[in-house]
Structure 1
Amino acid sequence: MYTKKSIMMFFLKKKTTLLIFILFLGVIGTAFFLSLNFSNLDNSNASNFDVSNSILPLDDKTNNLQISYKYQEIYFIESGQTFSNFLDQFDLKINEKTKVINLVSEEIDLKKIRIGTKIEINSSKVNGNKKIDYIIIYPNKERSIYLDFQSEEIELQVDNLKTFKSSRFVEVEVNNSIYQSMIEKNIPENIIMEFIKLFSFDIDFQRDIRKENILTLYFDYYKDEKQNYVKSDVINFAKIKLHNQSYELYRFTDDKGELVDYFDSNGKSATKALMKTPINGARLSSAYGMRKHPILGYNRLHQGVDFAAPIGTPIMAAGTGRIEKIGTNGGAGKYIRIKHLNGYKTAYAHLNSYASGMSKGVKVRQGQTIGFVGSTGLSTGPHLHYEVWFNNKKINPMTMRLPSGVKLNDGQLEKFNRFKEKIDSEMNNKINL
């Protein structure tokens, strides 16, 4: 016989079992619903994306729930890739692609777009249909170009990065090579090349530089609001301390901005009519003077100097002038001769090829690339044979004495001395920080 108490216990057990069963069904149903909604994420090909504002309002016509995903994809221009080729991988209409190219070409030269240029594609996907919202191009560290696809017409906006001018004082002790020692001190490459060029009139970087020589630089650069380096500007002061001699140079611009040059502490211009070494990073392999010819086998006067360097190494014009002769020249192989002022000429032999635009009569400036190292003509290996002529006679490039370039008048010299004192004071403050 069932008592009142036993009947109550029976119904309580049944109610508890039913409640557990209902909760179980609720968990299973929720998991099933979530798996349907997020299945699209697993099938996405985007390498980088953010999901935001996923649920859009109900569509008035279909009364269906719309699902939206936001994507951010980062690309970099590859070697051999044009901007037009880059756009081909996206589902753009012909008129859209044309509009984008026309807009961007107003801001940057697309023929010279750099390898590694960063491009950001921001897009959205609504119910399986993906479309570009906007593109951001970063041509350099100073600005970005926005292309907005969300209006009726594609709109372009340029955002210039706010930068601040600063300066840096640094001393470098040469350990192996000048270049490597300066790179290890985080000195920008263009500053390194400018530094080498400044002293190339007086110093043979292959023979004069030794371990433990001290290099000093004081240069301007730009940084952003977060103190990140953006770009370098100019060298204000440069110094090389050798074991027995020091060379130091100051950059000076006159009030009109017409004169921009480097001068020593006495106001003497660093610029000479000709550079001693018209090639960077090369080894002097044969000096000026009598020697046994490596191919012909007999002694003869070597009326130039040879610099051994890899094929393709750039060769610079030793001075400003006009190309007097260019082409194959017997045993000299591919050859260029430049006529300079005051009776000087320079010649460059055994070239592999000429720089673009080189031809007879073309004016070239000092330091401009005119050709590339090769081994054409009578040659035992890749090198540059370099000659200097004065009044149609060949002279030794390594011992020639050349007049300086610009000379400061009394007024300019007075301003230069004031500028020099200012730079010295700034450097002392940097040292004492």
Structure 2
Amino acid sequence: MIAFPANWFVLFPTALCLLVALRLAEGKADRRGQGLGTLAVRALIAMLFTFSVLAVGLRSSPLSIPWLLLMTVFAGIVWRKNRRLEQAAMLYTALGVKEPSNQAWLADSFYRENRGWVRSRAAALGRELARGQSWWTALERQGIAQGLYDKLAVRLTARYGEPQAVQPEAIGDAEVLAPLQIEAEAERLLGRLFFFSWALLLFPILGVFLAVVVPTLDQLSRESGLQLPPLLRASLAVRDSATTFGWSNNLLSLITLLLITLGILAAIGLGLALWLYPRLLQRRPLRWLCRDYYRNLGFTALARALEHEPDLLRACQATAELVPLPHLSVRYTAAAQRLSQGATPREALRKSGLLSRREFQVMALGFDNSNPAWSLKQLGTWKTARMLSRYSLLVQLAVVVLTLLLGAIVGGLAIGTVQTLCNLILAI
């Protein structure tokens, strides 16, 4: 079977499994293999990927293209997850290095002991240090600190150093804990959405079922003087409408099927796009989805700045310089200007768009007790928890609704098929 080019698409999952096994073996050995055997396996993987792609061009089949697209998505997910783990390992190792000599040694160690992206970033770090560039600036410029909280952690560490050890629950820990906690929760929620991606496997099967099985059952039922169940008749009508591309009485059924299919694909595609390209969330109109996430970024920086600069005016100015988000930095600059004009702290933050009406009232106690850092920490923690709870609810609703829709389609077709077969058996 494998000798036919049309069947070469099955080589894609084989190559993907070999690639994952190779990376797991390298990770277990804590080194990248340099031997001839490793090179041979990599060449085999590349060849399998090449032939699997050629299968689509040589002779397309109803199953090959959807299967390759699905495997490409899964490969992209694995690649992105591996890249994120490499980036996180480099970042949180680099944050603990303060001495310039140790920084150069760390960059050289990453270069000598790794390959691929880590090796190239380590080489770039070494070049930045050789040109006299700051270690912290190089981490951002070379893409090692990619996320907003990652960049904030680098800037806070460069400006204020590590949080004081005598304050184990100080707000300074937030710039390290927040990205880890939020990212872990986001990965968990995204994993739920990607868990539904198995549904894509059913689309080729449903296509074959509608194209082959339903017409066969219809022909057998007509020969026996029977009628198909309503759902199978509707699916047959949808198939006829889809194949003829004509305006018919079954246009509503066709539109319904298309909307369900597009809804499932859109949900999976949106989740994948936002995961691969998180900067899309910084653009309107998607920005409002993560407004709590962005505002908590500013609260984290402001609270840490207040520990070292008790004057709120100077703390707001420092926050405007530290926050790696232009539209948020502008608001803290405006708050600093209002403070310099004699406005109270709460009014300055409220009029700058940093506090809502409810938050304006909640913050009164913290500022009246001359403890704005504590109040900001509690507010940021509460807003982050609320944001994650809201996203968790939305993802769960999306998965439940999509599962019910797909389950209704598959279950209805299965019941109709069994009912048709039973009628044919009884008619014999």
Could you say whether these structures have the same fold, taking a TM-score greater than 0.5 normalized by the shorter chain as the test?
A: no
Q: Which has the higher contact order (CA 8 A, sep 6+)?
A: 2
TM-score, length of structure 1 as denominator length: 0.18
TM-score, length of structure 2 as denominator length: 0.19
Query: Which structure features the higher share of helix residues?
Result: 2
Query: Which structure features the higher share of strand residues?
Result: 1
Bigger Rg, structure 1 or 2: 1
